[in-house]
Amino acid sequence: MDSLNVQFNVAVLTVPHFVTPEDFPRWLQHETHALQDLAADNSLIIVRLFLDKRIKDALTRKTLDVLLQETTNKYPHIFRMEMVVIEDELENDEIEWIQSDAEHELAELLQTVEKFQEQKIARGKLH
């Protein structure tokens, strides 16, 4: 069986408290540009953006949607952006736990995909 030739990664971004709603688009651009630059040729990144409620409340939903869509359009290694609104800035141990949990979730998903491929190949050999 040919395994997937793509490496998926999850990146957790938390908006620092000093970033204002006006600064947020520039901050997001800077962070996602850095992720793109660090990505390997065969990698895709799922970004989990933990956005402070104060920023979400200051921007319209359409503005946020456009920013996220523009990011995935501009950077080919960024596969998807998921936004989670939070009340307070996350602590480092919370960020580490979220990163670990996301990587575990991704590993389970990739196992499911591989099992599906194996089943598909096995069915093909029976016919």
pLDDT (tens digit per residue) in 41-99: 888 898 999 999 999 999 999 999 999 999 999 999 999 899 988 877 666 777 677 66
How far is it, in rounded angstroms, from Cα 39 to Cα 95?
20
Query: What is the model's pLDDT at position 103?
Result: 72
Three-state secondary structure call for residue 8: strand
Query: What is the model's pLDDT at position 93?
Result: 74
How far is it, in rounded angstroms, from Cα 79 to Cα 10?
10
How far is it, in rounded angstroms, from Cα 92 to Cα 105?
20
pLDDT of residue 2 exceeding 50, the answer is: no
Mean pLDDT, the chain, whole residue set: 83
CB 21 within 8 A of CB 54: yes
Query: What is the model's pLDDT at position 3?
Result: 53
Span of 11-15, 46-50, 110-114 with lowest mean pLDDT: 110-114
Which of residues 65 and 102 earns the better pLDDT score?
65
| Rounded mean pLDDT, 122-127 | 67
How far is it, in rounded angstroms, from Cα 15 to Cα 17?
6
Query: What is the model's pLDDT at position 90?
Result: 65
pLDDT of residue 18 exceeding 90, the answer is: yes
Query: What is the model's pLDDT at position 1?
Result: 38
CB 24 within 8 A of CB 85: no
Domain ranges for the chain: 7-126
Which of residues 103 and 62 earns the better pLDDT score?
62
